[in-house]
């Protein structure tokens, strides 16, 4: 699945993407923090929705709070599983919560995402930074929902979102090659399908056509980076998205190594 994204640009890049965008006055972005956003931190993140006949950029929390999570205890127990939505369940699974909210479609602006690769003989997985070639900003489709219960601290009804994933293409299969949701990737789209995703009158057939799109591997650029889920600074003092040369890292498609490595050593 995809639990790590990166946005290091500026709001102007998003308004260039959608010139008629209305920016929520409560939106505030710390770009020092958004270079790596982790799903289960449930932080607010800028999300594009179509609401009241306008395109809006609003601060929503990653991780949908569904209607059945009507107590803080249920939110704590179940929200961790609501950060990604499998594309296969949005139209075809009539019991899925994602099908129920399929009309609440959103776009998640990013510069890129992180995914972890498993190598046999290595203690920790190796993170990779992945982005679309020739697109400094792109948007991953998602779904959104307003929380059924007020925020325990502010009393506000928060908007929440999930990021859509699909079966991985050939390159992403080699990067996301382990774990309980192996061989999946975000639903990367060309811009014309990204903007179509927000149209309010899409039929189920049109939604499914978008969900079925597979981004060709040659449209992706990617490289290994230093561990992203640690407060330990990079040895080379570069930013999280910069390439990192792991000693003895086998090439993609070769997932075994005789030398055990520890990302934190």
Angle value at C-alpha 60, between 222 and 191, nearest 5 degrees: 45
The percent of residues in the chain predicted with pLDDT above 70, rounded, is 97
CA distance 265 to 261: 8
Among the listed residues 100, 105, 103, 112, the one whose alpha carbon sits nearest the alpha carbon of residue 136: 112
Q: Which residue has the higher pLDDT, 97 or 12?
A: 97
CA distance 132 to 175: 15
Q: What is the pLDDT of residue 156?
A: 87
Residue showing tokens 């990192």: 244
Confidence of residue 146 (pLDDT cuts 50, 70, 90): very high
Tens digits of per-residue pLDDT, 49-85?
999 999 999 999 999 999 999 999 999 999 999 999 9
Q: Which positions ≥6 away from 177 have C-beta within 8 Å?
A: 117, 118, 183, 255
Q: What is the pLDDT of residue 32?
A: 80
Q: What is the pLDDT of residue 31?
A: 80
Q: What is the pLDDT of residue 258?
A: 54
CA distance 48 to 39: 17
Inter-residue contact 188 to 135 (CB < 8 Å)? no
* pTM score, whole prediction: 0.94
Lowest mean per-residue pLDDT among 23-27, 114-118, 124-128: 23-27
What is the arithmetic mean of pLDDT over 169-187? Answer: 96
What is the arithmetic mean of pLDDT over 180-195? Answer: 96
What is the arithmetic mean of pLDDT over 106-131? Answer: 96
CA distance 261 to 220: 27
Inter-residue contact 260 to 122 (CB < 8 Å)? yes
Q: Which helix (H) or strand (E) holds 166?
A: strand 159-167
Q: For residue 14, give the 3-state DSSP assignment.
A: helix
CA distance 139 to 135: 10
* pLDDT score of 24 more than 60: yes
* pLDDT score of 265 more than 80: no
* pLDDT score of 199 more than 50: yes
For 219, phi then psi, to 5°, come to -90, -5
* Mean of per-residue pLDDT scores for the chain: 93
> How does DSSP classify residue 125?
P
What is the arithmetic mean of pLDDT over 159-166? Answer: 98
Two structure tokens written together for 48? 């594009």
Tens digits of per-residue pLDDT, 147-158?
999 887 888 899
Q: Which positions ≥6 away from 184 have C-beta within 8 Å?
A: 1, 2, 86, 165, 166, 167, 168, 172, 176
Q: What are the structural domain ranges in the chain? A: 4-224
CA distance 116 to 136: 22
Tell the CATH superfamily of the 4-224 domain.
SOS response associated peptidase-like (3.90.1680.10)
Tens digits of per-residue pLDDT, 215-235?
999 999 999 999 999 888 899
CA distance 72 to 93: 27
Q: What is the pLDDT of residue 106?
A: 98
What torsion do the CA atoms of 26, 150, 97, 139 make, to the nearest 10 degrees? 10
């Amino acid at each position: 699945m995809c639990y790590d994204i990166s946005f290091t640009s500026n709001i102007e890049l998003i308004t260039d993407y959608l010139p008629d965008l209305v920016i929520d006055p409560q939106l505030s972005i710390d770009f020092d923090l958004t270079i790596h956003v982790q799903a289960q931190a449930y932080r607010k993140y800028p999300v594009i929705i179509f609401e009241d006949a306008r395109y809006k950029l609003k601060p929503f929390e990653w991780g949908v709070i569904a209607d059945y999570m009507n107590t803080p205890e249920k939110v704590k127990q179940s929200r961790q599983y609501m950060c990604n939505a499998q594309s296969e369940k949005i139209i075809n699974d009539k019991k899925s919560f994602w099908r129920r909210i399929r009309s609440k479609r959103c776009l998640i602006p990013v510069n890129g995402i992180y995914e972890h690769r498993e190598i046999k003989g290595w203690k920790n997985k190796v993170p990779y930074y992945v982005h679309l070639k020739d697109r400094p900003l792109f948007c991953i489709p998602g779904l959104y929902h307003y929380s059924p219960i007020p925020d325990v601290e502010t009393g506000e009804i928060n908007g929440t979102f999930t990021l859509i994933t699909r079966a991985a293409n050939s390159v992403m299969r080699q990067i996301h090659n382990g774990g309980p949701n192996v061989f999946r990737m975000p639903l990367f789209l060309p811009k014309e399908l990204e903007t179509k995703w927000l149209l309010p009158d899409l039929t189920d057939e049109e939604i499914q056509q978008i969900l079925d799109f597979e981004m060709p591997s040659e449209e992706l650029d990617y490289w290994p980076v230093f561990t992203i889920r640690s407060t330990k600074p990079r040895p080379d003092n570069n930013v999280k998205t910069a390439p990192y040369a792991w000693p003895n890292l086998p090439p993609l498609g070769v997932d075994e190594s005789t030398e055990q490595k520890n990302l934190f050593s």
